[in-house]
Amino acid sequence: MFGLSDVLASFAINGTVSVVLITLFSIFKNQPLNVRVYFSKWQLKGERVGPINYMPAVCPKGIRRYLNLDAKSYTHVMDWIKECLKMSEAELIDHGGLDAAVFLRLISLGLKIFIPLTVFGFIVLVPLNATDNQLAIESATKSNFTYDSLDRLTFSNISVASDRLWAHIVAAYLYTAWVLWLLFKEYRSVVALRFSFLASQTARQDQFTILCRCIPEDPKESIAAHVDHFFRFNHPDHYLMSQVVYDANKLDKMVKRRSKLQDRVMHIQGSIEKNLTKSRPRIKTGFWGLWGEEVDQLDYYNDEIAKLSDEIIAERTRILSDERSVMPAAFVSFDSRWGAAVCAQTVQNRDSSVWLTEWAPEPRDVYWANLPLLYNTLNSRKLAMGTLLLVLMIFFFFPISLVQAMANLAYLERNAPFLTPIVEREALKSLLQGYLSGQILKASLMVLPHVLMIMTKYEGHVSYSRIEKSATAKYFVFMVVNVFLGNVLVGTIFEQLKTFTEDPDRCFGVQIINCNEPKYESAAAYWPYMFGYIIVALLIKHITLMGLMGLKEAKSSTPFLLPLPICTILFYFYCKNRFEHAFSCYALEEAMAKDTIERASNPNLDVRSFLEHAYIHPSLRSVVVGNDVEAIPMMAQMRF
């Protein structure tokens, strides 16, 4: 159990660490060499040159390059906190994107939820709990019952079937109403922000393009021609062109290997130029450079690159000329957002297993390996991964507890007697028993997100952003189910698990990792998921309260608590109906308005050339768009 001293100690440690980290960050940020790290965006905009401005001119240039010697500037090191807090939301979105801004809103939502509730709790609930005497009675009647001064402030100190429980029921209503009201306002604001963010964006290729999967085979014509004929016939007014997807996995590997060799060559050339090596480095040509003829490294790598380049050209030619390397998927582009919106949001064919259309992800967000999957494959993979997730959820902690039991010394000594002299040493004993078993669990939990990520990739999503959203959702379900399981199957392992999962840092870490990657901007597409998670948390709170009331022999209060989860679920569906389409649909009026504004403001925009090379596999693009001119006539066959 947690005592008051534990809370104070934890508060002191965390407070000190925070102050030290913030101070260190402020000082490092102030050093000339770190300007590029901390002010890259500002620098790109030319708005701020960084702390190098503060340097006194008398300083030697060498030192000035590495150290900020201006004492005056250190008096302002903490100003960034003030600046951050002063920054308007519009500026924030402008600098960090909408994803980052909504993430900060999420944190401030947490503060808005918890600060008033904490105040309310201390003023109303804590005095009510503290002035009751359940714990005193229990410790008087049960011999092995102990409690801490902090426990007296909690719900446990209320007498069985006391009228004071009503205060907690009323508080649950206030709490729920307050959270739902804030969530509603927040959802409305995020939707408005998303709309204005999307409206302010310049033309993007994915606004004009849809992804068509599961293209059926036609014995009479190639896939490229089939796609073209299909969309030319069914979307005659707005269809522009289509780009089929090639199986470029082999090429991809070759291109990556070449670029690795090119990096190595550059590194060696740099070393030679700076005279860092006495003689030109040499290499053995055999397996892993361990044997065989010894040759000049630079020459060897250059030869390899030349050979690989020839192979790449041959492979690219093969891909572009071999009909078998064309996959049953294509990116189809339209001359307007309206045309793309229509095609992405309607059913194309009476058979729902072919010609599946959806919005194309942004080009850098495409997960190429999943594009060629067909309907039945997609379904079976989803089913397989769903089953695996279920199995994993149920059995995840059994092997771990086995490992823990093995790390248990008594078990080790019994089964491996020769280890006894080693594990009996005092230092090793405490290390194994106190530390290692906890670390094994922690490590398993750290592996989990990666396992879920691999599983989600296999499911067949077409973009990194969706893979990450889906993996996060799985992780959330996993944690909720296991915390519940943990409460049912009481045991050390679950106690430990609880402390890890209740650690907010950890949860936020996973959010950040999965949702806040800067490699694409989702325009807060993760918000509906966050909303759902908060609703689930609220429902868990309601169920827990009902359970606690049951423990206090106040089961008759259940009818009074039942409206809470019901209203919460109704609220969820209301918000879903009201707002979620802002994240899943693109209204035709929006599309038309944007098209019209663009036609007026940018009458010369050539949509065709704007889209021409957007959706080509990265390995083919580097060849087509770069200076490998031979490729271009080959690519022409993809346009019509």
User: How far is the C-alpha of 124 from the C-alpha of 122, rounded, in Å?
Assistant: 6
Closest approach, Cβ 217 to a copy of itself, in A, equals: 17
Compare residues 179 and 344 and give the one whose CB is closer to a copy of itself. 344
Q: Return the structure tokens found at 108.
A: 């401030």
Compare residues 101 and 341 and give the one whose CB is closer to a copy of itself. 341
Compare residues 160 and 585 and give the one whose CB is closer to a copy of itself. 585
Contacts of 510 (CB under 8 A, 6+ apart): 449, 472, 475
Give the three-state DSSP class for 463.
strand
Report the b/e string of 411-438 with b at 16+ CB within 10 A. ebeeeeeeeeeebeeeeeeeebeeebbb
Compare residues 202 and 577 and give the one whose CB is closer to a copy of itself. 577
User: How far is the C-alpha of 67 from the C-alpha of 14, rounded, in Å?
Assistant: 30
Closest approach, Cβ 338 to a copy of itself, in A, equals: 8
Compare residues 513 and 592 and give the one whose CB is closer to a copy of itself. 592
Burial of 9 per CB tally in 10 Å (0-12, 13-18, 19+): exposed
User: How far is the C-alpha of 21 from the C-alpha of 23, rounded, in Å?
Assistant: 5
Compare residues 554 and 575 and give the one whose CB is closer to a copy of itself. 575
* CB 130, CB 87: distance < 8 Å: no
User: How far is the C-alpha of 271 from the C-alpha of 605, rounded, in Å?
Assistant: 47
Question: 553's torsion region: left (phi>0), alpha (psi -120 to 50) or beta?
Answer: left
Compare residues 254 and 385 and give the one whose CB is closer to a copy of itself. 385
Q: Name which of 10, 99, 83 is nearest 47 in CA terms.
A: 83
Compare residues 198 and 432 and give the one whose CB is closer to a copy of itself. 198
Compare residues 125 and 356 and give the one whose CB is closer to a copy of itself. 356
User: How far is the C-alpha of 432 from the C-alpha of 413, rounded, in Å?
Assistant: 13
Compare residues 238 and 258 and give the one whose CB is closer to a copy of itself. 238
DSSP codes joined into one string, 549-612: HHHTT-GGGHHHHTHHHHHHHHHHHHHHHHHTHHHH---HHHHHHHHHHHHHH-TT--HHHHHT
* CB 492, CB 400: distance < 8 Å: no
Q: Name which of 29, 138, 41 is nearest 77 in CA terms.
A: 29
Give the three-state DSSP class for 19.
helix
β-strand 356-359 against 209-213: which pairing, if any?
A: antiparallel
Closest approach, Cβ 366 to a copy of itself, in A, equals: 24
Compare residues 415 and 577 and give the one whose CB is closer to a copy of itself. 577
Compare residues 30 and 176 and give the one whose CB is closer to a copy of itself. 176
Alpha-helical segments (H) within 121-248: 126-130, 134-141, 165-200, 223-234
Compare residues 70 and 335 and give the one whose CB is closer to a copy of itself. 335
* CB 637, CB 629: distance < 8 Å: no
Which residue's entry shows tokens 């793309």? Answer: 340
Cβ-based neighbour number of residue 65 at 10 Å = 12
Closest approach, Cβ 343 to a copy of itself, in A, equals: 8
Residue length, the chain?
640
C-alpha count within 13 angstroms, C-beta hemisphere, residue 342: 14
Binding residues for a copy of itself, per CB under 8 A?
195, 230, 233-235, 237, 341-343, 345-350, 352-353, 355, 379, 383, 570, 574, 577-579, 581-582, 585-590, 592
Q: Return the structure tokens found at 355.
A: 């010609």
